[in-house]
Amino acid sequence: MNKTILLISIILVIAFSVIALIVTVTNSNRSNTENNAKQEDVNPEKEEALKIGKALLEEHFPNMNWDEEPIDAEEINGIWKVYNVVNREPIPLESGKSLYLLGGELYVMFRKDTGEVVRFGVND
């Protein structure tokens, strides 16, 4: 009887140890996956381009409230384009029709490697 209880106890200890190990490894993998996903969302070059572009836009278009304007950046062939994002949702009019905005984004384009400003403009 004592040997049976001892054997069952050993089996239970091993089973609980295996379960604890599986749970630990699973949580560790899940945490690493979440951290990797967060790191992939952050692009330090884009963040830097947004800072530079915002400073240039503030200087060139001082009448805009750039702290409230959503801005974005895209890099194409070594040129950063930083621009304010215009809401494209239709604006309902009293007549029942809707007004759709076209263009309107203010932008600056500058070289990625030198920072040389290529162009300021308004998308039409």
Domain boundaries, the chain: 1-42, 44-122
pTM of the model: 0.57
pLDDT at residue 64 in the model:
83
Q: Pick the residue with more confidence: 19 or 48?
A: 48
Residue 110 near residue 83, CB atoms below 8 Å: no
Query: For residue range 66-124, what is the model confidence (pLDDT) as tens digits?
Result: 888 889 999 999 999 999 887 777 888 899 888 877 767 899 999 999 989 999 988 75
Per DSSP, the three-state class of 21 is helix
Q: Distance (Å, rounded) from C-alpha 33 to C-alpha 45?
A: 23
What's the CA gap between 49 and 56, in Å, rounded? 10
Higher model confidence: residue 33 or residue 66? 66
Give percent above pLDDT 90 in the chain. 31
